[in-house]
Structure 1
Amino acid sequence: MPTVITGLDRCAQAGKLLPAVSALTEFGSALHVLRDPGHHGLDEWAGGILTSMSPRLAAWTRSWWWTAQAIRATPFVTPTTSAESFTDRLEHLRALPAQELASQLLRPIAPTGDRQVALRWSRSRGAAVEACVEALARRPQEAAEDFLAFLRSSWQEWFEAEWARIRPVLAGRARRFADLAALQGPGPALAALDSSVEATPTGVTVHIAKVRAARHDVSKRGLVVAPSTFIRPHLYVADVPGRPLLLLHPADAGPAVPSAAVVRRRLEALAHQGRLEVARAIATEPRTAGEIAMLWNVDPTQVNRHLRALAAAGLATTARQGRFVRYRLATDVLEELGKDVLSLLLR
């Protein structure tokens, strides 16, 4: 099942379908990349940034980057749609009660802000994370001040320069989304963001090819759409209760990706021992069902069934030779299957 976003027509009519360019949201994506740059293809960039940091900031970064991983802390998924600066956002966070900010920062391991849950699961993440979560849970004032100081130092040492480079790219992409939504409607505009997003014929609902099945009605709560230069290969949907849904997408649309259903069908086809053996029989040269049945002494009806299943999953191609139909393994599809699985899991 994909992630489904509904109510786009009423969301747009109410003026709640909003593009956003947010320095703090983009900083969260950059922090995510610094922790694990490999699958983003940004090893060189991350290495350069980390090397340029002062020892103090490098240690700070290692202690806080868990807040921007698979589930992100609330400050990173609450973009504004105005021209609010990074410094403005820091002041907004500073004005929050320390306990509230601490609860927001615990979202990655305790979505409800439950301190006992956070303390329990922090122990599985190493000493640095455990110490950080311990401070958030038991000394929120001290931990909140430490987080804000970390953000300020990050801005001063490296992210201010990065933001000057990135902001025009994101602003241009946000304008294109707003223009397309006004001309063609919200569904087509969202579908143009990434190949994993598909609009229904009515354009009031979109399906996002993700592993997790979820359904979000944005007719009343609103939808904020924010581009990112760091987010690829992810397409991040942040569902924070009481806030608009956030769709964080790559600034540039990537190559086409298969749906979760297609990937699952291909894996299921190969998981069957009989189909795997038939796939081996057509891996090096095309063969007919009858030839395979004869060579391997198996039931031709079963061979036919396995070949049709492989072809239906896109794992085999067919070519007619007179009255014969020969099957060949789609080796190029199989070579990409591992990448497709990884892409789906990362998305």
Structure 2
Amino acid sequence: MPVAVVGLNSVSAAVSPLSELGSALHAVGDPGHHGADLPPMSAALRRRVRRWAFTTRAIRATPFVTVWGSDDGFAAQLDQLRALPPRRLATQLIRPISPPGDTAAALRYAQARGLGDQVAALVERPGPAVTEFLEFLAESWDAWFATRWLAVRPVLAARARRFAHDLAALGPAAALAALDPSITVAGAGVSIAKVANRRHDVSRRGLVVVPSTLIRPHLYVADVPGRPLVLIHPVDAGPPVLPTRDLLRRLAALANPGRLEVARAIATEPRTAGEVADLWHVDPTLVNRHLRALAAAGLARATRRGRFVQYELDASAVDALGGDLLGLLLR
């Protein structure tokens, strides 16, 4: 279930203060899996962050995933947002809640999420609602994030330059694969390990990679119609990711009750199929099939001793399974 990206004839890197601010606001809303070291925030600003949190959660509002000019600072980006017609910007802000242009769905789903009044204001009275959002962005930057940006901008710029170097030296697919272990070369494009099954042909729209010091553990793919595909990636490569097919194979192996019982039999000491069959009163052919399936899934180790083959559960692989699953879900 990977995300495939093909047509890599226009790939570039960009550094975006507004994108990094979006990652910071996301981290504030989901501190459990980010653990980011962020500046302290006033109680009043924290309330405003909660009010607009829906724009930076699982799906980000368009302004946070927009491709800006390479030298645009936050003030220039904010001015570009201010120049947009209020209704157009309001539509961009409800992207995380509903399909583009479906205001009826936006109002319906907003009610389910406790955002009815706020989204209704964006739909029905976009001028004041958009003004409030722009004021929130300005306050978040001036009172909270600007100092951090001064420290991280050189780091992001250096990572963007390194990607540009890899792009010229290795080609687009290999340069993208060097960003993170969850990205691998696949044919003429790349495959990204995510819980999704999508294919993006970027031959006409282009692909822009945006480094972030705060996006981990996510690897964010932003698909906004009519715009370049945006990939926001951790500035430092994350840990290796278990391929989706391997994770599904391990989960399926343990989902079988009989196989789970066989796994218990080899959890504390190595045993042969015959030994497990005799001690647990199970058909030896079935036990052998279960043991081979566990070994094929990477959950058991097989050791030959003369004419016998002993199997032992790989406790570290089983112990890591929850983390592997969570890592894929958060990726």
* Residues 210, 230 of structure 2: 8 Å contact kept: yes
User: Residue by residue, what CA displacement relative to the aligned partner does 1:310-335 show, whole Å, maximum 9, x if unpaired?
Assistant: 00000000111121110000000011
Backbone CA RMSD of aligned residues: 1.1
Q: In 2 relative to 1, CA 66–258 (structure 1 residues): closer, same or farther, beyond 3 Å?
A: same
Code of the residue aligned with 2:55 in structure 1: it is T
Structure 2 CA distance, aligned partners of 1:56 and 1:253? 35
Structure 1 CA distance, aligned partners of 2:183 and 2:32? 24
* Residues 179, 237 of structure 2: 8 Å contact kept: yes
Code of the residue aligned with 1:62 in structure 2: it is R
Q: In the alignment, which residue of structure 2 is the partner of 1:242?
A: 226
Q: In the alignment, which residue of structure 1 is the partner of 2:96?
A: 108
Query: Is 1:205 the equivalent of 2:202?
Result: no
Q: In the alignment, which residue of structure 1 is the partner of 2:244?
A: 260
* Residues 7, 205 of structure 1: 8 Å contact kept: yes
Structure 2 CA distance, aligned partners of 1:136 and 1:57? 20
Of stretches 22-31 and 116-125 in structure 1, the one that deviates more from structure 2 is 116-125
Match of 1:301 among 266, 279, 285: 285
Query: Is 1:224 the equivalent of 2:208?
Result: yes
Q: In the alignment, which residue of structure 2 is the partner of 1:327?
A: 311
Structure 2 CA distance, aligned partners of 1:101 and 1:252? 32
Q: In the alignment, which residue of structure 2 is the partner of 1:344?
A: 328
User: Residue by residue, what CA displacement relative to the aligned partner does 1:67-106 show, whole Å, maximum 9, x if unpaired?
Assistant: 0111110000003242001010111011100000000000
Q: In the alignment, which residue of structure 1 is the partner of 2:44?
A: 56
Q: In the alignment, which residue of structure 2 is the partner of 1:170?
A: 156
Instruction: Report the TM-score when normalising by structure 1.
Output: 0.93
Query: Is 1:75 the equivalent of 2:63?
Result: yes
Residue 254 of structure 1 deviates from its aligned partner by: 1.2
Structure 2 CA distance, aligned partners of 1:61 and 1:210? 28
Identity of counterpart residues, as a percentage?
58
* Residues 67, 228 of structure 2: 8 Å contact kept: no
* Residues 24, 79 of structure 1: 8 Å contact kept: no
* Residues 5, 206 of structure 1: 8 Å contact kept: yes
Structure 1 CA distance, aligned partners of 2:237 and 2:258? 39
* Residues 277, 283 of structure 2: 8 Å contact kept: yes
Segments of 4+ moved more than 4 angstroms: none
Query: Is 1:181 the equivalent of 2:152?
Result: no
Task: Tell me the SS of whatever aligns to 2:52.
Answer: helix
Q: In the alignment, which residue of structure 2 is the partner of 1:2?
A: 2
User: Residue by residue, what CA displacement relative to the aligned partner does 1:206-257 show, whole Å, maximum 9, x if unpaired?
Assistant: 0001111000001111000001111101101000000000011000001111
Residue 288 of structure 1 deviates from its aligned partner by: 0.2
Structure 2 CA distance, aligned partners of 1:66 and 1:161? 25
Code of the residue aligned with 2:297 in structure 1: it is A
Q: Report the number of matched residues.
A: 331
* Residues 193, 249 of structure 1: 8 Å contact kept: yes
* Residues 25, 79 of structure 1: 8 Å contact kept: no
